[in-house]
Structures are given as structure tokens and as C-alpha cells.
Amino acid sequence: MRGDKGYDLLDFDMLGLAPTLNDALKRAGFTEPTPIQNQAIPLAMQGHDILGLAQTGTGKTLAFGLPLIDTLLAQPGKPAPKTAKALILAPTRELVNQIADSLRVLTDGSKIRVTTVVGGQSIGRQINLLSRGTDILVATPGRLIDLMDRRAVDLRSVCHLVLDEADQMLDMGFIHALRKIAPQLGTPRQTMLFSATMPKQMEELSRAYLDNPRRVQVSPPGKAADKVTQSVHFLEKPAKQSKLREILSRDTDALTLVFARTKHGAEKLMKGLVADGYNAASIHGNKSQGQRDRAIKAFRDGTITVLVATDVAARGIDIPGVAYVVNYELPEVPDNYVHRIGRTARAGREGEAISFCAAEEVDRLHQIQKLMKIEVPVASGTMPKFVAEEKSKGRSGGQRNRGRGYGGGGGGANNASKPGGNAKRRRPRRSHAA
């Protein structure tokens, strides 16, 4: 059967996967490939390098995981001590664990061994695990370099490299780590790069590490999931707390993910919610890996219903039941907005993304709308009068607005949605503890 995009629509059992892998898919409840899987898997199984562009929640893990596992199942022999046959790099601990969990469901009972290495966990235990060798190594770049420096891992046998959420790795400064890791890998090798957005640096990255790649794309870069309903509330900073509580009180049983900009801000916000009787927890860079894992598990189980997070969690939470994403503070990097709101409306469900915009955040909103090529509907409030006046003169008022309050009238909801401004992106410093 042909899809409306011109490619063949296949069932998993039509892809030529190993019988044991097809059986594992059925046990896990996977019946039909998603569009990104339909396009990427046949090409990857033919040995091509892949440049995959798809929004979060579209099934990218299986798009690279299935052909990878299928290839490794056909290879004889066990990995030698300290070696790996395939390497998957991801920017955060949560995403590494999520990828590994998905792959282990499919490799359970087979000879394929999946090993993770991330910061925040015992490096001694990770050295011990790697001493036995592994088929698939899933890692954050920083911890992997720590292990390379200790000569605990030998990457010369790696013939398959996957870069997942590569755009976020660029934002987090991991390009320097990648330049150190790549020369240590085996050749020839197959490389698959997956990303939700396509900044200029991504083109440069693909040219540097991919050989004549096949490009697969199921949605325009920077586009949110179709079933996410978006809205923005214009309000002053002090009013954000009461607005958040108003939203949370509408459906106290719904899973709500709240994004704050800083670690301190996320922790303070969470403690305030707990004090007011909300079932809340937080995850951010100051939390240990164990604390982060327990918070995500409790959120997934519904033990807690409100999870406050920094962007460290924007791509590390794959929970289909998240009903609401609240951007308590807008991100400084516009791409992160797409990844934040991609935490809802997953696996075909509907979801709602609600943003709060204070005066000093208006320029960030403009940049987000420019990236997404949409106007986010205004749910309440109006753009500050002085911002509207600056825009009517053809100037961005972003730098003039900091710390000033909202005026009445003159701005209107329509003005609030017009892209503009020249906010500079600040790239977070890379930490080996990622």
C-alpha cells in the first residue's frame, strides 16, 4: 500500500526483521510502524546512513533500534571485554535510560546485551559492566569521555553510531565531546542521526559524520505534534503562581509537567506546590540520578501528578499520559519549546500546552513563533502597551521591556502573536555529569 507521502506503508512483519524480533514486537504490543519507522527502517536495514527529522513522540527509538538489533542478532560471537558493537549517544541521563529500556524490551531473552553509562552513577560499577563487553552501549557523551580517559572502554569495534536528539547535544555543547569520540570508532560504520529540529549546525554535523545519508522526515523541523493545543497567558511575574494553581485545580488527577528555567526556580516552585497540598516533585541538574529516576517513576505511576522540571527533562520523559505541559517560564532557546510541549500528545493522544509570558519574556515568545511559523493563541491578558507601541514603530522592544509592567489596551491579542525580536541564544555549558 502507498502512503500519501509517496512511500510504502508496511507492517512490522513486512520489514524482513528476524523472527525473534517480530515476536518481541508482538509481545510488547507493537502492531504497526509509525511514519518515521516506515521510512527509516528499510533504508537502515540496507546499510544506509540516516538523517531522521521528526518531532518527539513519533517513535524514533524503534526507527533506529529495530534495524540495529536485527543486524546485531545476525552477527556471530560475543563482544570482547571493554568493547561495544554499537554506540548510541543521547544528551541526558533520562533519555539514555528511556532508550535502553525500550531496547531491552526487544532484546529480552536474546544474546544482545544493552549497557548504559551516565553521570550521577557509580563510575566503578560502570567500569565493571564494561569490562565484560556489550553489544549496544547507550551513553551520555560526558560520562563516556570519562570512561575513555580511564581506558575502561575500547570503541574500535563500534560499527554502528546513533546520535539521538542531536540538536540538543549541540545546544548543550557536546559537539566538542563528539569530536573526541568519533575518531575512536571503528570504520567503516553506519551512522544514524535523529533530531526534532534542523538548525544550521545540524547540516554541518551531518556533512561531517554521515556518508551519503538518506533523509527521512515526517514533519517540518520546529513543528509541534498535531494534537497539541497551544495557548499563552500574558501576565506579570507575581501572578504566575496563582494562575498555575488555577490550572492545576481544574483537573487534580491529570498528569501535568511544569517547566521552569532554572534549577533553583524549579525547586522553589515545587516546594510551594507541595506546601499548598499538591502532589508534586521536581527533577533538575541538582538532583541525583536516583532522585530523578524515582520522581519520573512516581509521575508515570500517577503517585505524583505534578512534575516540575528544567529543560534537562524536555526530551527524557516518554509518558503517554501527560495531559498538560505548562511553560511556567519560556525557554531561552526556542527549539526547547518544541521539545517541552512534545511531552504531551504522545502515542496518538491529545494534550494541552499552556505558556505564561511576562513582560521580559515577550521577545522569547516572538522567537518561538518565528521558529514554529505559527501564532500561539492568547488565552488571557494582552501584550504590554509599550511593547505594542515599539512593534508598531518597527522595532523590537525586547531589551527595553525588562522589569516593566503591563499596560492596558493598545496591544491586543493579535499583536502578541506576531514573530519578531532578536533574542540571543545562550548555550548551556556542557557538564560531564549529564
pLDDT (tens digit per residue) in 346-399:
655 678 999 999 999 999 999 999 988 889 999 999 876 545 555 555 544 444
**pLDDT score at 10:** 64
Q: Is the pLDDT of residue 434 over 70?
A: no
pLDDT at residue 319, as a whole number = 77
Query: For residue range 50-68, what is the model confidence (pLDDT) as tens digits?
Result: 999 887 667 889 999 999 9
Under 8 Å CB-to-CB from 233, ≥6 apart: which residues?
243, 354, 355, 356, 357, 378, 379, 380, 381
Residues 186-233 pLDDT 10s: 999 999 999 877 767 778 888 889 999 999 988 655 555 557 899 999
Under 8 Å between Cβ of 329 and 311: no
pLDDT band, residue 405 (cuts 50/70/90): very low
Quick: pLDDT tens for 124-156. 999 999 999 999 999 999 999 999 999 999 999
**Per-residue model confidence (pLDDT) at position 268:** 96
Q: In 328-374, where does DSSP find H-type helix? A: 334-341, 362-372
Whole-angstrom Cα distance, residue 398 to residue 395? 9
Instruction: Read off the pTM.
Output: 0.68
Q: How many residues does the chain have?
A: 434
Domains (ranges, CATH) in the chain?
12-217 (3.40.50.300), 228-416 (3.40.50.300)
185 pLDDT higher than 90: yes
How many other CB atoms are found less than 10 A from the CB of residue 360? Answer: 16
Within 123-257, where are the H helices? 123-130, 141-149, 166-171, 175-181, 200-209, 240-250
